[in-house]
Structure 1
């Protein structure tokens, strides 16, 4: 009798959880106009599992790299020094693995955009409908980012110290601009736009003088991008007088999204190039080669226009987008061509709910739960290793939530 009662209780709990989340998801989809992640609709193209996996791989570092780096740094081990360095952002000029994470996400947004637009067009949606969806999605992303950047101020009713820019706000602006260009221009025009944005940004920072510093100064206070933030970006700035997601640096970030869109066009391409049929293997090879070329051009340009993540210099965009393309080609070859998918399953689970976990990691008590779990007597002997254990347990808790949502086919998307 007790066993039957426990089984009934578990089924009731599972049904309540599923019902609650599904209702919330339906309301969210109705507000945002998002596509429910059910079976593919008629006319939809094949799904890139590699895209989901690479997005999940990237999201792991977004929500976990900083804590892991902090925990490894606390150990003060010589063997972990390189890992700590690569999991931390460059102080100013330079490039680390962690500097790749944000532009990689924006690059993947561009790839997703091309597939989404084409699938919707195949289902008969008009350009006006697609534009309306893009505008709504851009607005929602920006508003969510605005809340995440300022939740404490909103909750306290302090509205005169708002930080208007941030990570999700930048993603929203890049997505909105790239959506407009993908809907109304050809790939050739999108490529020319990328060139114009990157070269134009270099010309501005290289030759427009900053009061008190002059032109072509690459210090934090002497460059044009940060100067314009200090003069014209309202509200609270991340670094006091300038913001790493500032006004002028948004334009090269849009170029990163467009480079992703161009990669998406290439992965969707069907036909011949110079008389040779382009199959999936050739797509991966050409994409990897293009990525290496972009990365090399970025390093070369960096001799005159330094690689600086915090102001998104054009050399940084080319280097990051090039490495992103190489990663995309590798994941595409392993998962969609060779069909080696089992190893990528943990990343796919994360990638299918990437925005949800990014927002949720800031508001749900994963870190507090991890500290409680690792803070017991069983872990007392860990010493300085406890911080690393907490970081890993926190991520495991997040993954288990995403896995439970995956099992119930709950995908919250914009």
Structure 2
């Protein structure tokens, strides 16, 4: 019965993802925050990772062979990674010109599916290998059984904080093509600091530039919507006079160091799933979910108040706590509605959508569906389905 709740939450996340992709440019409150802060769109990724964690606890609650389970988990992660490289590495670009393909010299190595693959693999291996044989009959015994998983979460968070605030970020430069026929222009960014969490001189970007190469990063950085970089802020727009040199620099919102913190969100979801596995009473489950949910939200807001700002692009610790806690709140709410109160009829369609969340994401958010609509034309690429439907709508409006 619990699967109904999980599928409904998956559907909610898929619909939220499509909503922010399609309407985020029109409604700033739905779009990603340009840097510090939290909007509706910033909940999509951690919600999905949270669901992955809960699902893993149910998938691996009984194991016949740990080695075989590890092999299958690695294969699934590899499939996600390859799919992410294909969809987000640059193949579906210049849709309006029907020009598809990948320039290996500039392929984007990281992305949403790659981040999910990494978090899934680490969380799956933790669930397969890092749990003791202790009997669970209370909250403390639950923590003892999975104590090594919590150790992994704390180590990841500690290493992330050490790198983010301890690494020295030197000056750096980049090149962009400002005019189609001109030579690339070089911009120099002055840093020489340690522990900076601004757009220009943070350790997250430095690690990606060093290990991945700046030519392999996302070329439309989210911080280009900040007031310093856009006269149309919080939307993209022309540069204002005196814009900083870093405004047009590539920056990957799903970079290496920030993706490491995404594993923690998946491990939090694992804990919520463990409560399902070991406790059958609705009241007990709700209590054991509410306690960590409240602690995460309060701790995350406290960190933000004391200067460790909520930041989706950096996947800051405060962002991790607040979004994981919020996912827990939504999870408990849907559980009470669907599994406890039995309002399942209204969620049957939502469950179907949740079962196909990945396919919906690929079709709607990765340009596959738009390419299908614009890829079939009559005589000229301009005579495609989209333009034909637009023409028909204009004729109808004119007739009315």
Indicate the TM-score class for this superposition, using the shorter chain for normalisation: 0.7 to 0.9
- What is the deviation of 1:370? 7.2
- What is the deviation of 1:97? 1.5
Deviations 1:303-338 (A, max 9, x none): 231111011011110111010011111111111111
- What is the deviation of 1:172? 0.4
Give the match's secondary structure for 2:162: helix
- Asked whether 1:357 is paired with 2:366, we answer no
Pair 340,145 (structure 1): closer, same or farther in 2 beyond 3 Å: same
Q: Alignment partner for residue 111 of structure 2, among 147, 150, 166?
A: 166
- What is the deviation of 1:248? 1.1
- What is the deviation of 1:284? 2.2
Pair 344,289 (structure 1): closer, same or farther in 2 beyond 3 Å: farther
- Asked whether 1:340 is paired with 2:280, we answer no
Q: C-alpha separation between the residues in 2 aligned to 1:379 and 1:192? A: 63
Does structure 1 retain, via aligned residues, the 8 Å contact 2:24–2:32?
no
The unaligned stretches of length 5 or more in structure 1 are 1-45, 74-83, 271-277, 384-414
Aligned equivalent of 1:54: 9
Pair 104,378 (structure 1): closer, same or farther in 2 beyond 3 Å: farther
Q: Alignment partner for residue 21 of structure 2, among 62, 66, 69?
A: 66
Aligned equivalent of 1:288: 290
Aligned equivalent of 2:397: 380
Pair 214,347 (structure 1): closer, same or farther in 2 beyond 3 Å: same
Aligned equivalent of 1:250: 259
Does structure 1 retain, via aligned residues, the 8 Å contact 2:275–2:288?
no
Does structure 2 retain, via aligned residues, the 8 Å contact 1:162–1:236?
yes
- Aligned pairs (5 A) from 1:12-411: 47-70=2-25, 73=26, 84-118=27-61, 121=63, 125-149=64-88, 150-152=90-92, 155-156=100-101, 158-186=103-131, 187-211=146-170, 212-234=191-213, 235-238=215-218, 239=221, 240-270=249-279, 279-302=281-304, 303-361=306-364, 362-365=367-370, 375-377=392-394, 380=397
Q: C-alpha separation between the residues in 2 aligned to 1:208 and 1:69? A: 34
- What is the deviation of 1:106? 0.8
Deviations 1:116-136 (A, max 9, x none): 1125x3xxx311121111011
Q: C-alpha separation between the residues in 2 aligned to 1:350 and 1:378? A: 34
Greater share of helix: 1
Does structure 2 retain, via aligned residues, the 8 Å contact 1:59–1:351?
yes
Deviations 1:67-107 (A, max 9, x none): 1233xx3xxxxxxxxxx233111010001111011111011
Q: C-alpha separation between the residues in 2 aligned to 1:264 and 1:184? A: 16
Q: C-alpha separation between the residues in 2 aligned to 1:133 and 1:328? A: 27
Q: Is the deviation greater in 239-248 or in 126-135?
A: 239-248
- What is the deviation of 1:382? 13
Q: C-alpha separation between the residues in 1 aligned to 2:116 and 2:310? A: 21
Aligned equivalent of 1:34: none
Deviations 1:100-157 (A, max 9, x none): 11111011111111111125x3xxx311121111011000000000000121479535
- What's the TM-score once normalised by structure 2's chain length? 0.73
- What is the deviation of 1:379? 6.0
Pair 178,382 (structure 1): closer, same or farther in 2 beyond 3 Å: farther
Pair 288,343 (structure 1): closer, same or farther in 2 beyond 3 Å: farther
- What's the TM-score once normalised by structure 1's chain length? 0.71
Q: C-alpha separation between the residues in 2 aligned to 1:378 and 1:189? A: 65
Deviations 1:141-189 (A, max 9, x none): 0000000012147953522211110000100011011111111102211
- What is the deviation of 1:367? 6.6
Give the match's secondary structure for 1:376: helix
Q: C-alpha separation between the residues in 1 aligned to 2:2 and 2:164? A: 40
Q: C-alpha separation between the residues in 1 aligned to 2:157 and 2:50? A: 15
- What is the deviation of 1:286? 2.7
